[in-house]
Amino acid sequence: MTIVGVIVGLGAAIGLNRLLRKILYSVSETDPITLGAAAAILTGISLLACYIPARRAVRVDPVTALRYE
């Protein structure tokens, strides 16, 4: 889901470059470093947001979790 979101977001950013030209002051609207950095940061945050609950869920004993259900 994260990769699909990043691809759609990058496509939208490139497609809406006229609007972005007015918002970005010292950066080109299709600057690959800026677009790549933004995609990498958002991907990292998404992976971290998935990793923390998954790590917590792995620590729980399945039998104990099923007993409380």
| CB-count burial class (<10 Å; 0-12, 13-18, 19+) for 3 | exposed
Instruction: Provide the CA 59 distance to its chain's centre, in angstroms.
Output: 25
CB-based contact 24:54 (threshold 8 Å): no
- Does position 2 have pLDDT exceeding 80, yes or no? yes
The residue that leads in pLDDT, 23 or 48, is 48
The pLDDT of residue 45 is 94
The model's pLDDT over 46-68, given as tens digits with 9 standing for 90+, comes to 999 999 999 998 998 888 888 87
Q: Taking the model in full, what pTM does it have?
A: 0.67
Q: Using pLDDT thresholds of 50, 70 and 90, give the confidence band for residue 42.
A: very high
DSSP conformational letter for 23: H
Mean pLDDT of the 18-42 span: 80
* Residue type at 32 in one-letter notation: P
